[in-house]
Structure 1
């Protein structure tokens, strides 16, 4: 195919009752408009003309029709200063593949047609993609067509040379239900491709992987897992069940079970979950354990560190081979500012320890269970900060008798 650029216009459609344009609807966590744009051949150069009345559609290169505009107005504004041929795509079809667009472009350039169309499905008079010679398109617009299909009918009425090639039926996205139907097609296509590359899925129907995610060989994805754009998963991992990864990086041979990881990195040979919550800005090392009901936020966790359960670590730098006891809390917020905590290597943090930031613990520090640390602790020390126990003999028996209970 010629490397000459082809002006391409993606019509985003009109706003639906729920206030969304078709190009804004999400499929596998990305806007339809983005998926369509990325499926176009390299020869296509998207044209984007913003109208004064247009709703902001950041990052979606398409032309939408506001309530006070029509098809002809929008198309005429887009092609006004263009040269050469132009390809127009009507309501987005996110399940259409690059080869299909290439087919109609190749036919148009080889046959020198005035208009070349891509016919989808069994209906011969319904088109969702057409390539126009510019002078023919401008002449058609003088007749004020209200849709792409009407534009092609006008071309035929003025005896312009037209030709079409047929492809399988695709889902044109207008409503939320259309987006769901298109998503099922893409979901099956993506999951089948991944399984063909050595990735296992226990139940592909309940596994949702963005086309903008990467997964390594030998990884197993369990049901209920959502892998969102920007996520990277290494080889030999186990992800799920019921897990969300969003812009997350997961190292080789790591498992993430019933947990959520956002904009963070987890190293190799680590375990996360169940029910762990890793918030943005975290970096978790190799051979680590992030256990049940653990929450991390802007935390750097060193290699071989274990945070087994019921612990919050925020705005902290934690060394290697540290063990956190159950119920540890890093108290990083005083209601006005968030402060940092630093923990050295080989520390043992006892159960129910509070580390009140800003505070630093050296290497090989031990905190006794129930301790609240408010001052720095030097290397090799033990920190104890709790009231001395006192037993009051008979106190609770007397209390029970006051309330009519027997000893």
Structure 2
């Protein structure tokens, strides 16, 4: 197989997006468009990727990092001019170079591979990725001769009435013999109404030199979408969402309402998981078999164990064990580690805390910067008081402890194994194992005081 290279065109400012964010960094299902393109094209086995960026594009470089080399297009002088900026990095290399736009996030690795294979099999100097458009208006048409060979690409404004009837369109993605590409670019002129250098002119130049130019027609027109405004961005989001949801459903995941379920591309979901409407699962999340997620839950960068149920809750950057029940309305913040069989109930917040196997925090509690053992019961309204305004401190609750309702555990503090904390206590010192700790004021009843208080309030009025 020939060596393969890629040039990603990402220099456009995207004025129609009406945004301060660089166009190709606008996300589709949580990942920037250009990242989708880079990951899919790299999957076909490339020697090198060059991303052509524009002035002020440091954030693109920062995001892609070492996954790509970069070339700068200081002035926006057309697609041909953009490719010329990669000449220093690629011109002497033998092999095949694909040129793809950074705002086409829906093209799959399978399509890229099929394009490469067609190009190399045909022995072409250039191959155009084309598609059959239901409505080709606005697209450049691919014109073929009687032998079905590619003759040229004609733009909408330049097409004759007969050519306007052609439904095969240029997607803007090409494969080239690398040396032929940079050789032909030297002959590209900007003698046109826009004063720009067009990459499509390379096709005509190669044809004039009697070089072979072919086309590969992709089977799925939806992949051709180029995102130039917020409307197209929403369309790309919808298409990718449908693609990802269908993939999971065909692999044994029950998604009750796919139109209202959002799963990002890097999520792994095992079979027999059930996902209810309004759920968002993102990042590098892994959902193990038989889990139930939702409705209206958000999971990001979490591992969720088998047979776990998460209802109407948010979980981020955490590990959640098997047979755990979470919610409704719980918040699992970063660095939580929830053990098997645990229960996190309604209006409970867990942050940077370890909760042991079988432990329960059933409602209305905050457990932060804590290490909680196994089979611990934490009553309603309990708070691990972890912050003194400057530093965070650890609360340790050992196995089999019982924390009564409305308790404040002032960290750093340890609650010993099997001990009890009485309801309403404020604990400032360690509690030994198997002890009962009561830390609250003694109750005092003042007979008849309520009536005197009411009379006093009436006199003030």
TM-score above 0.5 = yes
Residue 119 (structure 2) aligns with: 108
Residue 63 (structure 2) aligns with: 59
- Please report how far the alpha carbon of residue 179 of structure 1 lies from its aligned counterpart in structure 2 after TM superposition: 2.1
Matched, 1:48 2:50: yes
| Pair 181,26 (structure 1): closer, same or farther in 2 beyond 3 Å | same
Structure 1: segments with no counterpart, 5+ residues? none
CA-to-aligned-CA distance 1:315-343 (integer Å, 9 cap, x gap):
11000101011100000000010011111
Q: How does 1:156-305 map to 2 (within 5 A)?
A: 156=207, 159-167=210-218, 168-169=220-221, 170-305=224-359
Whole-Å Cα distance in 1 between the matches of residues 53 and 129 of structure 2? 28
Whole-Å Cα distance in 2 between the matches of residues 64 and 233 of structure 1? 40
Matched, 1:308 2:362: yes
SS in 2 for 1:403: helix
> Please, which of 104, 108, 111 is the counterpart of residue 97 of structure 1?
108
- More deviation in 274-283 or 141-150? 141-150
- Please report how far the alpha carbon of residue 91 of structure 1 lies from its aligned counterpart in structure 2 after TM superposition: 4.4
Whole-Å Cα distance in 1 between the matches of residues 207 and 318 of structure 2? 56
| Equivalent residues of 2:10, 2:53 under 8 A apart | no
SS in 1 for 2:86: helix
Give the CA RMSD over aligned residues: 2.1
| Pair 147,376 (structure 1): closer, same or farther in 2 beyond 3 Å | farther
Whole-Å Cα distance in 2 between the matches of residues 200 and 156 of structure 1? 52
CA-to-aligned-CA distance 1:78-130 (integer Å, 9 cap, x gap):
13232023111124322222232222212221222121110133343423211
TM-score, length-scaled by structure 2: 0.82
- Please report how far the alpha carbon of residue 177 of structure 1 lies from its aligned counterpart in structure 2 after TM superposition: 2.3
Residue 147 (structure 2) aligns with: none
> Please, which of 333, 357, 367 is the counterpart of residue 411 of structure 2?
357
Residue 68 (structure 1) aligns with: 75
| Pair 49,205 (structure 1): closer, same or farther in 2 beyond 3 Å | closer
Whole-Å Cα distance in 1 between the matches of residues 247 and 171 of structure 2? 28
Q: How does 1:132-147 map to 2 (within 5 A)?
A: 132-142=176-186, 143-144=188-189, 146-147=197-198
| Equivalent residues of 2:276, 2:294 under 8 A apart | yes
SS in 1 for 2:307: coil
Whole-Å Cα distance in 2 between the matches of residues 266 and 134 of structure 1? 50
SS in 1 for 2:200: helix
| Equivalent residues of 1:91, 1:174 under 8 A apart | no
Structure 2: segments with no counterpart, 5+ residues? 134-140, 143-152, 154-169, 190-195
Whole-Å Cα distance in 2 between the matches of residues 50 and 161 of structure 1? 27
| Equivalent residues of 1:364, 1:380 under 8 A apart | yes
Whole-Å Cα distance in 1 between the matches of residues 340 and 303 of structure 2? 12
CA-to-aligned-CA distance 1:289-335 (integer Å, 9 cap, x gap):
00111111110000000000110011110001010111000000000
- Please report how far the alpha carbon of residue 136 of structure 1 lies from its aligned counterpart in structure 2 after TM superposition: 2.5
- More deviation in 94-103 or 219-228? 94-103
TM-score, length-scaled by structure 1: 0.93
- Please report how far the alpha carbon of residue 21 of structure 1 lies from its aligned counterpart in structure 2 after TM superposition: 3.3
- Please report how far the alpha carbon of residue 248 of structure 1 lies from its aligned counterpart in structure 2 after TM superposition: 0.4
When the two structures are aligned, how many residues end up with a matched partner? 403
| Equivalent residues of 1:86, 1:132 under 8 A apart | yes
